[in-house]
Amino acid sequence: MSGTAATLIVILLAVGLIAAFYTARTYRVGWVQGIGLLKLRTLFRLELPEGKLAGSDETNGPVIHVYSRQSGLDVAVLWSVLDRQCLHLLHADDRRSLTLFGMRLFARTGADDYNQALEAALASGASVTVPFPPDIEPSQETLENYADLARLARKHRARLNAFHVGGAVFSLWSARPPAEAPRKFLPRLRLAQSGLLDLCDPTPPANGATAARDQDRIHDLLALARFNSNDFSRGLFLAFRDAADRYGRSDPVLEDALGGKLTYKRLLVGARALGARFEKISQPGEALGVLLPNANAVMVTFLAIQSAGRVAAMLNYTAGPAAILSALSTAKIKSVLVSRAFIEKAGLEPLVEAITGAGVTIVWLEDLRESITFLEKASAFINWRRPLRPVNAADPAVILFTSGSEGTPKGVVLSHKNLHANAAQAEARIDISPKDKLFNVLPVFHSFGLTGGAILPLLFGVRLFFYPSPLHYRIIPAVAREVRPTILFGTDTFLAGYARTAKDTDFESLRLIVAGAEAVRDETRRVYHQRFGAAILEGFGMTEVAPVAAVNSASHGKDGTVGRLLPAMALRLEPVEGISTGGRLFVSGPNVMLGYMRASAPGVLEPLADGWHDSGDIVEIDGNGFIAIRGRAKRFAKIAGEMVSLGAIELLVQKLWPEAQHAAVAVEDTRKGERIVLVTTKMPALREELRSYSRRFGAADLMVPGEIINVEEIPVLGSGKTDYVSAQKIVDEWVSSHQAGGKAD
């Protein structure tokens, strides 16, 4: 070796040692840990949490750091940043790993069971790291291990903290099979933490669980750390770019019923090319109307709008001209993006005429795409990794319009962070992976269809199949037989319709269904379990929270509830006159909207005053935090001074007549204040039969409808929810024509 080469090596070693000592001093760790941390930050671009690590000051006792072991890198990351006296319990693979041999020489390590070393460490005041399986939904054995660890924490007055090493699952040392986590040579790592939890602190958790099991609190801690490992600091375009890097740019991830297939790269190239045209027809921050069905083009258009720094205003083409024109005015929309093929096939020419008649410009996407030049396409191909215009994660990304099921629709303004956060919250609770394929029939103008059915799968590597309408009850099962999805999103109404026409083999590929918007009937749950082997996970949400607020999971589920609050959210209940148990639900969290736009003040954002959103729902919460919806505050009738839930009446009627559809509404009554009228497809629907049934179950006579109206169909919105405005009109017209007070059996 020449003298020059030797000198260069000495200089490089000296620089490395100096950098390692500087790193150790900066992060207050030992010099050997500093070397390890420097390697991780250099090779894997490791990002650390802002501020101090939880438990770095051990003057208040030991801390048990739990983590879902994503790979063999996890313990190396934790060893490099935690106190040198911390005991690291090792997974069996990590005890044998040659990669971790150097770390084991300097770290305090032990086996991954609860032995005397763990007890001794806690008794001496030393902190401990404990690995658990990487599964998002823990097994019963894992839950029992959580409970064992909680007992030790209480015994030694130790606090708990959860870590998650984001990106480690994609490394060469991943704990997941390649089909679930594509391998990357040097993936970017991001360490996140949950914050400290003292199980002896009587303060109830933010999810309202007044008597939460210790094992559930540890489970929630791990979910929160996983959620925190996501980077919410950038816009959605860059979040999709990051997904392309993680899950692969070249394999198809998006399909539609027209036969089109898109990879992440083609999706982003197309979005950047189209976005350049949107820049020319609008101003930064302007809302562009989107009037498109579930197809690949709607996702390209949505991301093109995000790339251009504009706001996507998703329009409900099933709502009719009056509602569309109201939305255009509310959001001050000057241009609407449409597809000529869609308009012709759906017969929406009168809607287009109404839009143009209101002075709003129709932009035909086919014409826009044809006008893109070769040079513009080449530029988009070269620069596909960058948006056309930088945005802040707190900037508005989308405007969705409330369903109007109970009144005039409002514009709900959601930021890039709102949408990204809600997708990450759901991913932290429900186990999904690139092995899955999601069949989305819910329209993207609805928040469930947009976030759950489009943004969530594509941000987390799940293949997505778009179908244009949820109302094709006979066609959808046949398409599912060919597509073979593993996940389906839907509402009870839609799911029941598919089951009636499906063959037993049509949905045999499904493993889970996430249902929302309305209560899932026992019959629907039974049919999908027995015929198709698929579990239905019921959730709850609203457009204002982007939309999911709570969901059941395979490991944490309770029939009759909509599950538990998602990570990073908080709730509170406010008392309601006439309601003895439960209260009116308020929620807060990173997924809660920026605010409303109202028709009375077009284009003006009305922000939330204190970060809390009034859901308008009356709920009950059990000791473990499971939320049971008792009804909308607006959907309670006051009868002779008693508050009666119209939703509870519908559930009662549904149990008696499960094959029919029902809607309960209230009308004025001169003697009792209000009375209840049932609109139903059951023929004949006998009031005495309903009264007898309700008494067998101990229901009060007040819950028996005063009148019953037979209809061929219950009116529904495009989202699948019951259209109570239309139902109320049916009742009002019937009552008026029958001289209010008559009875119909």
User: 53-56 — which CB contacts under 8 Å span 24+ positions?
Assistant: 53/81, 53/82, 53/193, 54/161, 54/193, 54/194, 54/195, 54/196, 55/82, 55/127, 55/159, 55/161, 55/196, 56/28, 56/82, 56/83
Residue 20 pLDDT: 55
pLDDT above 80 (res 12)? no
Report how far residue 734's alpha carbon sits from residue 745's, in angstroms, rounded to the nearest whole number.
14
Helix or strand run (H / E) with residue 685: none
H helices of 390-446, where?
416-427
Is the pLDDT higher at 538 or at 14? 538
3-state secondary structure of 192: strand
Report how far residue 424's alpha carbon sits from residue 230's, in angstroms, rounded to the nearest whole number.
7
Structure tokens at 729: 């009109």
Pairing of strands 396-401, 411-415: antiparallel
Mean pLDDT, to the nearest integer, of 300-324?
92
Mean pLDDT of the chain: 85
What are 611-666's pLDDT values in tens digits?
A: 899 888 888 899 899 999 877 766 666 565 555 667 677 777 777 778 788 887 77
What does pTM read for this prediction? 0.86
Structure tokens at 553: 């999971």
Contact criterion met (CB below 8 Å) for 498 and 473: yes
Residue 440 pLDDT: 93
Helix or strand run (H / E) with residue 480: helix 475-483
Q: Which residues of 184-217 are buried (b: 16+ CB within 10 A; e: fewer)?
A: beebbbbbbbbeebebeeeeebbbbbeebbbbbb
Report how far residue 702's alpha carbon sits from residue 691's, in angstroms, rounded to the nearest whole number.
10
What are 664-683's pLDDT values in tens digits?
A: 777 766 565 567 788 888 77
Q: Could you tell me the pLDDT band of residue 101, with boundaries at 50, 70 and 90?
A: confident
Residue 376 pLDDT: 87
Residues whose CB falls within 8 Å of the CB of residue 714, separated by 6 or more in sequence, listed in order: 661, 662, 663, 679, 680, 681, 722, 727
Report how far residue 451's alpha carbon sits from residue 460's, in angstroms, rounded to the nearest whole number.
12
What are 290-311's pLDDT values in tens digits?
A: 999 999 999 999 999 999 999 9
Structure tokens at 232: 């919410």
Q: Of the spans 340-354, 395-409, 699-713, which averages the highest pLDDT?
A: 340-354
Task: Provide, for the chain, the percentages of residues in helix, strand and coil under a 3-state DSSP scheme, each rounded to the nearest 5.
Answer: 40, 20, 40
CB-based burial label for 482 (10 Å; 0-12, 13-18, 19+):
exposed
Residue 29 pLDDT: 65
Mean pLDDT, to the nearest integer, of 263-279?
94
